[in-house]
Structure 1
């Protein structure tokens, strides 16, 4: 049974899952039809069903405790009403942030919808709010805590909403990499230029942002990565870029840096699997990390879209593999994709390579266009999908009672250098 046009991803998955054969071919996992608390109590940490289902979660992955039964047993309509009532009662004391990739049933309650950095900035713009409820993933809540006021509490409705890509570069592995690079490049400063400048993608832990702050580095987003790399090259001979290899490779390639000057760093191998000569001739060292959502897009999907819809405009996110970005008409951040569709002439056709919740929401908001996801299989971001209306109702009703559930706090010794790296980014103009 198929969902009606404009149905949310969660509704579509429930309808499809009534037919097991259809579910097997139409979604990336049968577990998507289950509520996220079905996975919160698993014996080992896991990202849950969706694009990151096969990614191993670190042992230290935060775990979400059990929700009270009243939220587990509530109907969709009851949760909707309870969220609305709690939000109304809290008024300006709370601000709800919803990421572009969040499920519709949650994002409809958001005061602001955007990408991770836009939402962190939105939180900073509401100093009167006592609590910031971040319907996104863990690193986003950390960034909101860094940029919000000291008296504001940032709450993450489900602690298990992490990010597999962010977890692919942990602070211990990056510090070990840095020690090896220091040994290779010791004494090789040229005219005051540092041998290596660390650049971390926004999709990383506060600890990695702090690492960059302490070592003369900087943070980037998918929309300003080229400007940030230019900033780094003004100060150093090469860049260590983590955690997403694809954003680093696609950005540097567009800047004219040859692929042979962009070796991969595998943290499980000595020198990242490279020779000292390869490292010395490098311009960008790419960490072996990726986004499991954007890794799903392929050139075959683009070919199929062009065959079915001649003249289709293919836009993909720069976290996609390089062959996909090269085969697309254009690439850009989530906000770039949104603006491109909003500005298009009526009757345009778009094949979009980014997370399914955002693509379906854009299609519903722009019936004057034909908009579809390049990947025909419904496979949402596993960790965004861990945020459910039940968790949002629990957090908001807790605030009504004066309780702060799942507060995310960055320690002062991490927060100060992390803010330094973010401030350097804010000073860069694309």
Structure 2
């Protein structure tokens, strides 16, 4: 297989992303993309890609794409024997929880998450002792061990629905302080927060929003609910990655800024070429550890397999399934 042959065979893939990946750059990706397509067939594998993955992954080799909630649901429906999670480690753990008999691979073990690292299972047990009887709602951006100590999980897309489904006056919501505070502003339920933050979203500021409006009159500003509440208040709309993408597709704003991870704007731009995207984005260093090269290596070498202690998995699976049942 030569590079020229790979470029020729993957022209239809490049056509999908030509809006954001110039012709001169495609040969850098063609060989790995070509190999991945063949490996998926050989191994009966699917690739699940989060919205923060780069376009050559998201649009060219992924089989199922979406936000954390969508990927969790999709993981349950695939018949493939092998799942490659193009995302961060907690997402691969969630896929394994829902598919214990399948092989789940994460291309880079160091693809972590600042939120997942901000809290431990012992922290959750301590909160239970401090607030006896108060339900614990845990964001999916956490380890399986933390999920196992929780009552139910949530994502940024369903957090309010999960909180209100419990029918109680007060809940503990962890680990993202800003997501919890933003949900608290939308509901009458009292929410006890934890001091965890997303290193991508916590860096956005209201000053950036003002600068965007001054530089681009009429711009539509969309903010992820992991952003600080002052940023969400200054934006025109706030929602999960899936909800933001849907907003752009339905509303077709002339010009938009998405206050979230950089690749999100690139991926939505591919699907909405007539919208002008201004990119005041922040890179997630963990998401960017996933590349075509290590996806290919994962399929070639069966690395890195995700395993979870059965006792931990049982509790974590229960919390995730409770969320999915709502």
Residues 360-371 of structure 1: pairs in structure 2 closer than 5 A: 360-371=266-277
2:5 — aligned with what?
Answer: none
Does residue 224 of structure 1 match 2:158?
yes
CA displacement 1:253-300 (0-9 Å, x = unmatched): 12256xxxxxxxxxxxxxxxxxxxxxxxxx321100011111121111
Aligned to 2:88: 137
Q: Which residue of 2 aligns with 1:421?
A: 319
Task: Note the 1:99-114 alignment, pairs <5 A.
Answer: 99-107=50-58, 108-114=60-66
The TM-score with structure 1 as length reference comes to: 0.67
Q: What is the CA distance between 1:323 and its match in structure 2?
A: 0.2
Matched, 1:395 2:298: yes
CA distance in 1, matches of 2:273, 2:29: 26
Distance 1:341 1:204 in 2: 29
Q: Which residue of 1 is the match for residue 140 of structure 2? A: 202
Contact 1:362–1:371 (CA<8 Å) still a contact in 2? Answer: no
Post-superposition shift, 1:425?
1.6
Distance apart, 1:386 and its partner CA: 0.8
Match of 2:20 in 1: 6
Looking at CA atoms only, which structure, 1 or 2, has the larger radius of gyration? Answer: 1
Output the CA distance in 1 between the equivalents of 2:323 and 2:283: 29
**What is aligned with 2:104?**
154
> How far is the alpha carbon of 1:5 from its aligned partner?
6.8
Deviation at 1:197, TM superposition (A): 1.0
Partner Cα separation in structure 2 for residue 130 and residue 249 of structure 1: 40
| 1:86 matched residue in structure 2 | 39
- Partners in 2 of 1:130 and 1:423 — Cα distance? 21
1:315 touches 1:337 (CA, 8 Å); kept in 2? yes
Among residues 235, 241, 246, which one is paired with 2:173 in the alignment? 241
Distance 2:121 2:179 in 1: 20
Change in CA separation of 1:75 and 1:304 when aligned onto 2, cut-off 3 Å: closer
Q: What's the Cα RMSD here?
A: 2.1
Match of 1:336 in 2: 243
What whole-Å deviation, never above 9, does each CA across 1:141-178 have from its counterpart, x for those lacking one? 11111112x32111101111111111101112222333
Displacement over 6 Å in runs of 4+? none
What secondary structure sits across from 2:185 in the alignment? helix
Using the TM superposition, give the Cα deviation of residue 105 of structure 1 relative to its aligned residue in structure 2, in angstroms: 3.0
The Cα shift of 1:75 comes to 5.9
TM-score, structure 2 length as denominator? 0.87
Q: How many equivalent residue pairs?
A: 305
SS in 2 for 1:241: strand
Q: Secondary structure of 1:96's match?
A: strand
1:164 is paired with a residue of what secondary structure? coil
The gaps in structure 1 that reach 5 residues or longer are 12-73, 183-193, 258-282, 399-403
Query: In structure 2, what is the Cα distance between the partners aligned to 1:370 and 1:80?
Result: 28
CA deviation after TM superposition for structure 1 residue 94, in Å: 0.7
Match of 2:14 in 1: none
Partner of 2:13: none
